[in-house]
Structure 1
Amino acid sequence: MRELTQPSRDEITFVEVLHALADPARLQIVAHLADGRRESCSGINEGMDVHQTTMSHHYRVLREAGLTWTTIEGRSRYVTLRRADLDARFPGFLAGVLTQLPEPARPS
């Protein structure tokens, strides 16, 4: 199995974060993870009407931008939001984005 590309905290760039958040599906994934849960990819996919290969692309973009951290356990992948890293790099940015989401997209 190939190793996942995940930038260190210092390698996270604002441009890549903005690019990743520009897609509504990726924004919805980030909102879903905002409460700090570690979530399986299949668990997040359940609430979204997006094809599996497209979801895999969205997870890769989020991971490579530094918004999420993915761990592999057996055949499952688990995703968490890198809130502490993002807050350290861009203080207040993620909180500002999350508060501007429409009600249905906000985490429960």
Structure 2
Amino acid sequence: MTQQINLIGLDSDKAKALAVHLNQLLAHYQVLYMNTRGYHWNVKGQEFFELHLKFEEIYTDLQTKIDELAERILTLGFTPDHSFSRYLEQSGIKEHRDITNGKECVKGLVEGFSKL
């Protein structure tokens, strides 16, 4: 059996398997990113100022990582998933809606990061 090599010199089957895993990781990051944006926009309460700034710092970092993951998938010769419905199907991180309590937001972040 002959090994198929892709354009960047990797075994094609291994590159495909890696792209599948990276797309799943991308889905995790995208859902966590959107949850974090929601926390940033909607957090209320005594810790608003501290959490608002921290959530912005976190979602900015997540955005950088998302871009790196997508570019890595492209480098492997595959297309990064780019629909939110697909992200929700693939991610083990739950979409959070209507959370405004600071402690619940932080809990959601901890749960999300534990799945990465």
TM-score normalized by the length of structure 1: 0.32
Larger Rg: 2
- Structure in which a larger fraction of residues adopt strand: 1
TM-score normalized by the length of structure 2: 0.30
